[in-house]
Amino acid sequence: MSKSNWARSVQKVLMAGAMTAAMGSSAFAAEAVKMGCVLPLSGGSAAVGNQTKVGVEIAAKQINDAGGIKSLDGAMLEVVFADSQSKPDVGVTETERVIARENVSVLCGAFNSAVTFPATEVAERMKTPWVVVGSVKDEITERDFKYIFRINNKATYDAREQIDAMDMLKDEFGSGPKTLAMLYEGSDWGRSHAANVKVIAAERGYEIVVDEAAPPNQTDFGNQLLKIRAAKPDAVIVALYTPDHLLFTRQMMEQRLDLPFGVHSVGGGMEDPAFYKALPPEAAFYAFVQEDWQIDILKVSTDPAILSADEATKAALGYGMSAYTAQGISAVYVIADALERAKSADREALRAALAETDIQSGPALVTGYNRIKFDEQGQNTFAHGVISQNIGGERKTMWPKENRAADSTPVWPVPAWSDR
């Protein structure tokens, strides 16, 4: 008796399940839209690639949970990830595979400029739109390509912004640096950044008094600090990865090297959460950091999608959103926006829609931009980094002024070590 009851109830549950499934499948009858995502998921840049991957997954899930692409009858977004291993040839091969075999409508990626540069050429040739994530090499959007769109900064923007921030503070407070020191790691990123800074600094009337490339993974910055001390610059522009940035910052604190207008880091070490765990907080006080997203966006944003994305990132990675996660989220929302307007997963239609992109609100702007709109080369001309100053251990956005929170006031010039 009880057994048959039990069997009957099981039957009921199963029936109900089948019915929901049937209803579900009719509601989601529209074919899923496939997007490819080429990222460095192993090798040297794996940590960064994984953060971006988490961002892409979170955004895709949010969009799907909210009913998918509405203009396509609620079509789901399906992301196909591919591992570039940070190698150009592997990235190109994977791009070929994802386009030809997985038949994706659109691609995004691939963080390393060395991969993005040749891989986007494949996408252009195969007439598949590609939304660039994280790569800053200028030439990527200087090739008259029709299918390549970049949301984030070009390398030259990063340099310009650092000088812009100094100019802004100069206007705001009536004083600012005249002489600059540059200390950068001697590989691709550091060197190209330094070269860009040199050009823009010269245009704006700053004098570079120290120009020092450091080989990666140094054991002592004493020599470089001595050079800086001797040249007495007003401020120093730093482009170092985490280990070198840590050592440099620590030694600078130990030597109590005073720079009236502070340290201006272009990210690298100073945007890595690990950096702040390894140092006494006062070592990085008053330092300016240029980042590819707004570090305090969660304080100024009320967008529920952004807030829940941060929660989801914590659940997936154990720490909150980073610039890399944010860029992944942004790319998916830009693609979803284009899909809505294209009303089609067709590559040509999607390309046309991406070219018409003009986003002025929503989670696509999680990186802190005010607008996303591509020029004829596919570059988002509204892209910018965000420069924060470390006030009492908290990085507060200072530049651009529009992104400042109400309680953020820059400290300019920065106090000497003896006055802190």
Partner 1 sequence: MKTTIAAKSTRSGGLRLNQTTVLVTILLVLALAPIVVTDSFTLHSMIMVLFFAYMATSWNFVCGYVGQLSLGHAMFNGMGGYVSVLMFTQLGLSPWLGMLFGGVLAMVTAVLIGLPTFRLKGPYFTLTMIAFAEIVRIWIENTNEFAGIPLKGAEGLIVPNRGDDFWAFQFSTKLPYYYIILSFLAVALVATAWMERSKLGFCLKAIRGDRDAAEALGVNPTFYTSLAFAISAFMTAIGGSFYAQFFRYINPERSMGLELSIDMAVMSIIGGQGTVLGPLLGAAILTPIAEIARGEFGGGLLGLHLVVYGLALMLCVLYFPKGAIEPIRKLCLRYFGGNER
Which residues lie near partner 1 (CB under 8 A)?
37, 41-42, 46, 50, 80-83, 87-90, 92-94, 96-97, 99-101, 113-114, 117-118, 121, 125-126, 137, 139, 143, 186-189, 191-192, 195, 213, 215
253 sits in which H/E element: helix 242-255
Minimum CB separation of residue 217 from partner 1 in Å reads 12
- What is the DSSP secondary structure assignment for residue 76, as one 8-state letter? P
Q: How far is Cα 418 from Cα 406, in angstroms, rounded to an integer?
A: 29
Of 185 and 310, nearer to partner 1 (C-beta) is: 185
The amino acid that residue 327 corresponds to is Q
Contacts of 193 (CB under 8 A, 6+ apart): 155, 158, 159, 184, 239, 266
The least distance separating partner 1 from the CB of residue 34, rounded to whole angstroms, comes to 12
Q: Which is nearer to partner 1, 45 or 380 (CB)?
A: 45
* Structure token digits, residue 276: 């702040």
Q: Which is nearer to partner 1, 126 or 352 (CB)?
A: 126
Q: Which is nearer to partner 1, 242 or 308 (CB)?
A: 242
Count of CB atoms within 10 A of residue 302's CB? 7
Q: How far is the CB of 53 from partner 1 (least distance, A)?
A: 8
CA distance 236 to 225: 11
Least distance in angstroms from the C-beta of 96 to partner 1 = 5
Q: Given the complex with partner 1, which of 188 and 203 has the nearer CB atom?
A: 188
Q: How far is the CB of 31 from partner 1 (least distance, A)?
A: 20
- Dihedral Cα 171, 176, 398, 248, nearest 10 deg: 170
Could you give the strand order of the β-sheet that contains 207-214, starting from the edge strand earlier in sequence? 207-214, 179-185, 235-239, 263-265, 288-291, 386-391, 394-399
Cβ at position 88, least distance to partner 1 in Å? 6
Q: Which is nearer to partner 1, 121 or 340 (CB)?
A: 121
